[in-house]
Structure 1
Amino acid sequence: MAAPGSHLELVSCAIVLLTLFVTIATSADIFLDWHVSIDFNLKPVSADQQVITINGLFPGPLINATTNDNVHINVFNGLDEPLLFTWNGIQQRLNSWQDGVSGTNCPIQPGSSWTYDFQMKDQIGTFFYFPSINFHKAGGGFGPIRINNRPVISVPFPKPAAEYDLLIGDWYNSSYKDIRSRLDTVDDGISPSWMLINGKGPYMNNFSKSYETINVTQGKTYLLRISNVGTAWSFNFKIQNHQMVLVETEGSYVNQIQLDSLDVHVGQSYSVIVTANQIDADYYIVASPKMIVSTNSNTLIGVAVLHYENSTTPANGPIPIGPDPFDLQFSINQAKSIRWNLTTGAARPNPQGTFNVTNVTISENFILQASTGTINGSSRYTVNNVSYLTPDTPLKLADYFSNGSGVFELDAYSKNTSNVNAVSGVFVASALDKGWLEIVLKNEFETIDSWHLDGYNFFVVGYGEGEWRPESRFTYNLFDPVSRSTVQVFPRGWSAVYVYTDNPGMWNLRSQNLQNWYLGEELYVRVYDPDPNPAKENPPPDNLLLCGKYQPSAPPPSPSLSPPPPPPPNGPSSNAYNPPRTSRSLIAVITTAICYLFIGLL
């Protein structure tokens, strides 16, 4: 029997313990149903083309999660060809089975469905998803991902009044199928014709069906999450009469710097803080392509509107002009100025600087030259003179069932030097588990290239012009290099990154420029841990798809494509969080029992 007054003690004890349990049980399960289809009537720029939508939306729906949440996305493929989604920058800890690229997953066949299951493990920040095969990205199907901080982790800037996702990218006048059919060689390259902001054409253009508007209130601050979801062009982002404070890039908080404009390269994401500190009016939001002569400002330049709540004055005057699009030194200097914030926490309370590269020992290095080569009479993009040849069987399946036998040969091509002659091949490079890897990315092109490594963030330690040499290492920034998953490589230059290879799996290393990727500028990095203790990569999922040389023993039953049942209140249709897997009633029972025991001992 509890002593008099112990009820108050019980309540106080329960509050303390419940707070502790809530802090520990931080992961929630998010369930989403995506119906992917083609919309012929959307016409972002009044051109007849096929636009890929998700649940009727272009861009697709927001994935709004918190660090360590578990995400379950059931994808219904309503296209007339196979489909895969990849999660740009989501690290998929120990789980490349869910990566959604041709080397890891069998595609989702037309008229069927498949469920992705992955965790936002130890991540925060701004990311996006997109379809990864068949040149689908040029037709849409992309959408934003936010990973919010857990409540116990402080954010290094005041809470904004609102957050906006800005998915910005180049766009073609033709459908993705038409562009794809014309891309047999490098020489068949087709340039985009537009820059869209959130799937909408530029403001003040007669061919734009609509334009994007961001609503603000004077005196308040806003967080803009900016992603380059395009296929070819880097862009410079700016807002008329407003400055931005850069705060985050692809899961890393950066030293806050004030900017008039920001270069964003293909596949990259940034978060900036903007204060609505001008008079009530409308202002231009501008995304202008790099390395492009944009003489027609109504098509090649993306234009949206920043609208003040009490504004009656439309945006007017000339569209703001940013830096010279061919001024590479501006871009290089800005890239070098983006540094990791060493003092703040992110997904964890530890300062980011706890995980630094100042004194690491490099165990191996890759030196990868991106160029073009002629193979069987066709010009292809290559890495070390190897143009990637996609096998019918995903590498991940072949590696799991037969160590790659009959599908790929590990390290068949050099990771440091180029083949004498250009060849097509299945380029799979090994990397030592839990070692530090240096990757030097070299660019022979006259355009800006952009490289991404699935499964990891890497430390961007250096940029350079001209030829990379071993002595170039003396120019590296090893004190506070930013950690991110996509790095630009400037024309006729190089970029260097460090990677700690602690995430076993089969991971795609590719150009983010879609034409380059489609025509062979990619490889896979196999990180293997032979020790079962500690745990290796996750086993294959229960719903593993088989294809290529590993066909299912019997045809699976046809999945139902009937509409999903209505979601529960506050359910997945609103992307709200479901309760953590740990039962709240069970937590309450355990909490009460512990408190009675504690009080009885006093």
Structure 2
Amino acid sequence: MRECIILYFFIAWVLVLVHGVNGEDPYRFFTWKITYGDIYPLGVKQQGILINGQFPGPQIDAVTNENLVINVFNYLREPFLLSWDGIQQRRNSWQDGMYGTNCPILPGKNFTYNIQVKDQIGSFFYFPSFLFHKAAGGFGGIRIWSRPKIPVPFPNPAGDFTVLAGDWFKTNHYILRRYFLESGRNLPLPDGLLINGRGWNGYTFTVEQGRTYRFRISNVGLTTSINFRIQGHNLKLVEVEGSHTLQNTYDSLDVHLGQSYSVLVTADQPVQDYYVVVSSRFTTKVLTTTAVLHYSYSQKGVSGPIPWGPTNEVAWSLNQARSIRWNLTASGPRPNPQGSYHYGMIKPARTIMLANSAPYINGKQRYAVNGVSYVPPDTPLKLADYFNIPGVFNLGSIPTNPPGGNGGYLQTSVMSANFREFVEIVFQNWEDSVQSWHIDGYSFFVLGMDGGQWTQASRARYNLRDTVARSTVQVYPRAWTAISVALDNVGMWNVRSQNWGRQYLGQQFYLRVYSPAHSWRDELPIPRNAMLCGRARGHRTRPL
């Protein structure tokens, strides 16, 4: 009998180790084949990156806490990586898909991502993160639905549309990478804008009069903020990157690089077709493209002038950004209201100031954070950290405050941080272009934004009650944006510009959030299928 009891507890312990992390949450399985194929997004034949023959790639649909098993086969002639913009990857930076955390998938090989969308809802997207592949496609939408028993603060819409919009170049991605970026040149002005991979009036959203639809808008572009609007229709904002918002109504909505928004649109106009418009913001030449909002049974196509959108009006955009607030009474992925987390009552342990710059280093254009222009190492940082491989990076290789001056230097920059630390981060922008910043693995609170130099007195203008929580935030020209974030997710996380040219040329670094406990409760173990490259090649992974 005693032996049976011991055996029972042994089996139970094994099951906890094997299955306890994910519990009984369902699994969704995907098999993706990455290939090149001919695409014509702006009427010119190009070599695009397809996923299962599709451009854009397949939509991912999941419910809070579900597990996604995505087996990616690389049929390109070069290494490939996918990353998941806004998916927080709780305790699991092993699956982040940036080169600082993962080895790329070699040609002819495959890798299986195991991702749990733990405690998340909302609208996101995935994209290729290596070798400037993002300029060739390979991106797609992610929708994370609330669990059935968790109330959503608006009625179920009649339909749910994904809008992947952004700038596009007719020049192939490898020419952009080699001729411009790696030669120290700025990227040219994009050739146009796309909506779901198509140009002018190339995509149609079909609706029925009198019904309400959800549009999930993501800026998947490389260099340009955009404005989204629909002729004759209002946009009711309901969600921003996993946060339910106050349901303000807008004529048009600015969406900066890497950002995602959900709006409700009621088809309350006469039966005909209407323009869905995306135009560039803060560019010397305004780029515009359209799709079609088609009312069922409409016999009349789009007509009339395209509705006006803002162009260089920074104050207009700033005021709109400040109007976006958290819905304190709405439930997020859990049944408790979002407002039950009183972020404004937590005193930050420290303040980190991050300033972007555009230095010339060794005669070439680079971009930097606090004077440090990031250089990719020969071994992913996460692997070097795990296997204690010396010489790959040094903690503290990027200062926590800008040093002053216009110079810069090359470095594999990593900033250290402590698990469960609550920090204030100030993004200071002295350049004349809008910046867009993202932190992998986290959602943060946007405390405030304004023009000029941030000082401690700027805190008097913070919103400490109902600011929105998100993963990507804009910083206007010669201005600052302040955020607060609870560093409750152990791992090696990429902090970057969402302008992909600036990111490629060094405007990024890694945040190492460290727990001395080395417990599986804080961070999952290295995956059994982890790819090993560089100086990590030949090491052994321990099994899950």
Place the TM-score, normalised by the shorter chain, in its bin: over 0.9
What is the CA–CA distance in structure 2 between the aligned matches of 1:58 and 1:534, rounded to whole Å? Answer: 38
What is the CA–CA distance in structure 2 between the aligned matches of 1:291 and 1:419, rounded to whole Å? Answer: 27
Structural mapping, 1:179-578, within 5 Å: 179-182=176-179, 183-184=181-182, 187-203=185-201, 211-294=202-285, 300-323=287-310, 325-402=311-388, 405-418=390-403, 421-532=407-518, 535-552=521-538
What is the CA–CA distance in structure 1 between the aligned matches of 2:170 and 2:470, rounded to whole Å? Answer: 32
2:458 aligned counterpart, secondary structure: helix
**5+ long unaligned stretches in structure 1:** 1-23, 204-210, 555-602
Displacement after TM superposition at 1:533 (Å): 5.6
Aligned pair partner of 2:175 in 175, 178, 184 = 178
What is the CA–CA distance in structure 2 between the aligned matches of 1:439 and 1:510, rounded to whole Å? Answer: 13
- Closer, same or farther: CA 103–319 of 1 in aligned 2, 3 Å: same
**Contact 1:386–1:419, Cα closer than 8 Å, also in 2:** no
**5+ long unaligned stretches in structure 2:** 1-21
What is the CA–CA distance in structure 2 between the aligned matches of 1:552 and 1:191, rounded to whole Å? Answer: 44
Displacement after TM superposition at 1:492 (Å): 1.1
Displacement after TM superposition at 1:534 (Å): 7.6
**Contact 1:344–1:351, Cα closer than 8 Å, also in 2:** yes
Aligned pair partner of 2:139 in 130, 142, 145 = 142
What is the CA–CA distance in structure 2 between the aligned matches of 1:261 and 1:450, rounded to whole Å? Answer: 19
User: Residues 453-483 of structure 1: CA distance to partner in whole angstroms, max 9, x if unpaired?
Assistant: 0000000001011111121111111111100
1:468 aligned counterpart, secondary structure: coil
What is the CA–CA distance in structure 1 between the aligned matches of 2:146 and 2:539, rounded to whole Å? Answer: 45
Instruction: Give 1:199's aligned amino acid.
Output: G
2:322 aligned counterpart, secondary structure: helix
What is the CA–CA distance in structure 2 between the aligned matches of 1:200 and 1:363, rounded to whole Å? Answer: 47
**Contact 1:441–1:494, Cα closer than 8 Å, also in 2:** yes
Give the number of equivalent residue pairs. 517
2:384 aligned counterpart, secondary structure: helix
User: Residues 48-94 of structure 1: CA distance to partner in whole angstroms, max 9, x if unpaired?
Assistant: 32111100000100110000000000000011111110000000000
Instruction: Give 2:273's aligned amino acid.
Output: D
What is the CA–CA distance in structure 1 between the aligned matches of 2:456 and 2:375, rounded to whole Å? Answer: 31
Moved over 6 A (4+): none
Instruction: Give 2:299's aligned amino acid.
Output: T
What is the CA–CA distance in structure 2 between the aligned matches of 1:191 and 1:530, rounded to whole Å? Answer: 47
Displacement after TM superposition at 1:292 (Å): 2.1
2:529 aligned counterpart, secondary structure: coil
TM-score normalised per structure 1: 0.84
What is the CA–CA distance in structure 1 between the aligned matches of 2:448 and 2:188, rounded to whole Å? Answer: 31
Aligned pair partner of 1:164 in 158, 161, 180 = 161
Between structure 1 and structure 2, the one with the greater Rg is 1
2:503 aligned counterpart, secondary structure: helix
What is the CA–CA distance in structure 1 between the aligned matches of 2:340 and 2:24, rounded to whole Å? Answer: 23
Displacement after TM superposition at 1:294 (Å): 4.2
What is the CA–CA distance in structure 2 between the aligned matches of 1:100 and 1:520, rounded to whole Å? Answer: 18
Larger deviation, residues 223-232 vs 470-479: 470-479
**Contact 1:65–1:147, Cα closer than 8 Å, also in 2:** yes
Instruction: Give 1:418's aligned amino acid.
Output: P
What is the CA–CA distance in structure 2 between the aligned matches of 1:217 and 1:349, rounded to whole Å? Answer: 33
Q: Between the two proteins, what is the percent identity of the paired residues?
A: 50
Displacement after TM superposition at 1:377 (Å): 1.6
Structure-1 residue corresponding to 2:25: 27
What is the CA–CA distance in structure 2 between the aligned matches of 1:536 and 1:350, rounded to whole Å? Answer: 23
Larger deviation, residues 277-286 vs 405-414: 405-414
**Contact 2:186–2:365, Cα closer than 8 Å, also in 1:** no
Displacement after TM superposition at 1:189 (Å): 2.3
Displacement after TM superposition at 1:553 (Å): 6.6
Displacement after TM superposition at 1:532 (Å): 4.4
**Contact 1:47–1:174, Cα closer than 8 Å, also in 2:** no
Structure-1 residue corresponding to 2:148: 151
Instruction: Give 1:321's aligned amino acid.
Output: W
1:358 aligned counterpart, secondary structure: helix
1:256 aligned counterpart, secondary structure: coil
**Contact 1:26–1:69, Cα closer than 8 Å, also in 2:** no
**Contact 1:185–1:519, Cα closer than 8 Å, also in 2:** no
**Contact 1:369–1:418, Cα closer than 8 Å, also in 2:** no
Structure with greater contact order relative to length (CA < 8 Å, sep ≥ 6): 1
Displacement after TM superposition at 1:133 (Å): 1.1
Displacement after TM superposition at 1:131 (Å): 0.3
What is the CA–CA distance in structure 1 between the aligned matches of 2:186 and 2:235, rounded to whole Å? Answer: 39
User: Residues 363-397 of structure 1: CA distance to partner in whole angstroms, max 9, x if unpaired?
Assistant: 12210110111211212100011000100100000
User: Residues 504-530 of structure 1: CA distance to partner in whole angstroms, max 9, x if unpaired?
Assistant: 000000000000000000000000111
Instruction: Give 1:220's aligned amino acid.
Output: R
User: Residues 17-37 of structure 1: CA distance to partner in whole angstroms, max 9, x if unpaired?
Assistant: xxxxxxx97721000000001
What is the CA RMSD across the aligned residues, in angstroms? 1.5
What is the CA–CA distance in structure 2 between the aligned matches of 1:240 and 1:25, rounded to whole Å? Answer: 47
